[in-house]
Structures are given as C-alpha cells and as structure tokens.
Amino acid sequence: VRQMMKTADIVIENFRPGVLEEWGLDPKSLQKDNPDLIYARISGYGQTGPYAKKPGFASACEAISGFRYVNGYPGQTPVRPNLSLGDTVSGLHAVIGILMSLRVKDHKNKKGEAGGQVVDIALYESMFNLLEAVIPEYQGAGVVRQPSGTTVTGIVPTNTYQCADEKYIVIGGNGDSIFKRLMAAIGRPDLASLAKYSTNADRVIYEREIDDLISNWCLQTPLDGVMSILEAHRIPCGPVYNAADILDDKHFQYRELFETVEINGESLTIPAIMPKLDATPGNTAWPGPEIGSHTDEILSSIGIDTATIEQLKTSGVVTDTV
C-alpha cells in the first residue's frame, strides 16, 4: 500500500477513525513520501470530536443530522426515504472536496509548494448541509421547523395530490402569479383575486382550505388530464414516478439517461453518467471486472516483480480471485 501511495494522486478510505493511524497508513505517514497526496476520509462523524469513534451508518447519521426530524407527519415517528441518502450525499461531498483540493494542488505546485491535504467527510455533516434555513430559523427566531407531511412549511400551495386513476401529482403553485393561473386551471378564477389569497403569507393561513380545493379537483380527473390542464396554464407540476414509469418516459429516453452494459453475458440497463458535458460527455465503457482481476497489472505498474507478487498471493496479502 505504501508503495502504491507514492505515486497516487488521491486515496479514499472509510475505515473507523484511528485505524489507519494504527497501521501507519494515515495521511501524515503517506504524505512524507508523496507530499501532493490528496487523502479523502469518509466516516460517520468525522476524524475529530467526541463522536469520532462511534460506528457511523447512514441511517443513524441522517437522524442526528436533523434531516430525519423534518420528514414525516407531525406527532408521528419520523420517516426515511427508501434510499441511503447519507451515503450518496457524502459521496458527492467527497467528490466536491477532492475536486477543490486538486485545484488547490495545481495552484500550489505552480508556486513550487506541496499540494496535498486531507478531505474530511462526515456522513452526518453531509446531511446537515442539506438543512437549508433550519438553523437560522431557530437561532434567529426561536422556531424549530417541524415535519409537514407532503407539504413544505411556509409555502402554499405545494403538495402531492391524488388523481382519479389513483396516481399522484406534485403541484407547486406558491408564486402569486402562478397561484392565479392555478385557480383558473381548476375552474375557480373567482378565488384568484380574493384578498385572503393574494400573497403566499396570506395563503399560509388558509393552507388546508386551498389544499382541499386542489385535491377535490384532482380527484375528478386522471393524471394525464390533470397534467394537460396544468401545463396549458404553465403550472409547475410533475407526476410521481416509479422505476417502470421512468424507463417508459419519452423525456428520460430523449435525454439518454439510460445505458446498457453486459454482465456475465446478460444485458442490464443502468443510469447514464451525469451531469452532462457537451465537450467531454461521460459514458460507461464497461461495468467493471471481477474483484482482483487487475492485481498483477497494478502491482507490476509500481515495480513489484512477478516472484514477489506470487509471494504476496501465497501469503494472502493480495489475491486475484474471490
């Protein structure tokens, strides 16, 4: 590992904080031989602090971050999306930190300085970073944002509504001019000019009343009809899709959001590479090899001879099979 790190640009690890220090593979040790090494560390609670040594699964970190508290319905158990958001969002934060560090390294290298540094990613901090104005609201106004079901606190109307065919649509009509168009779309233009609905602040007071109007209208028409009417009035809206809906959607297909790869002789559809770059677009050239397939190639590239590689395999340090 030390030998590989001598020529590496970036190393990413997610061991419990302190483990790699015990092994002598911590940033300070490796940067002695490679002062330009960017060392990304992903853990539950970060490398320092009283919680650093705690086990850090995404679920627990989403909870302590404050993210779970605002999800669900008032007075009920907080809910989680059926995804491991903490892991995904932390991965994105790691990418951002690494790219920032690479830019810093380039700048320092031009001045003849070493450019290595540590990128310390904590799962709970990545989720905390999604909380928008939750902290200023509390610190500045003493308001603890509460869960609000399918709505967003202080924004009216924005909600999820059931249609006649039992499909769901999300409608965002909280802009003042959009609200007027929305009322026309649902056949109630008379409500658009009422003083009590004139601004978002006014509409917040009558949230239930407004939501009931929109909900009752949606229940009379299938999803496609609701979408058609709303889009004709330029109302922001979107159907609630599942995986089958996504694969069948013409816009997803036109934007080429899917790729097909072959795994063990069978084709598999996967998400395409995003974001899209016009000059250097990404694509999945191959789905990856079996674990250990490149052991010889990697070790040879850093100067380890064939006999030593075989010794490492025999002793169990490395393997080319799993």
Tokens of 84: 């491991």
Identify the bridge partners of residue 89 per DSSP, sorted by sequence position: none
Helices (H), the chain: 2-5, 19-22, 27-31, 58-64, 85-110, 123-128, 134-141, 176-185, 189-192, 200-205, 207-218, 223-232, 243-248, 250-254, 295-301, 306-315
Question: What whole-number distance in Å separates Cα of residue 314 and Cα of residue 156?
Answer: 66
DSSP SS3 for 45: coil
Question: Does the active-site annotation cover 87?
Answer: yes
CA angle 101, 105, 121 (to 5 degrees): 20
- Catalytic option among 9, 26, 87, 249: 87
3-state secondary structure of 217: helix
For residue 118, give the nearest of 96, 101, 103, 106 by alpha carbon.
Answer: 101
Cβ atoms 31, 116 nearer than 8 A = yes
Closest CA to 312 of 299, 294, 293: 299
Q: Is 53 helix (H, G, I), strand (E, B) or coil?
A: coil
DSSP string, 60-124: HHHHHTTTGGGSS-TTS-----SS-HHHHHHHHHHHHHHHHHHHHHHHHHHTT----EEEEEEHH
By annotation, the residues acting in catalysis are 87
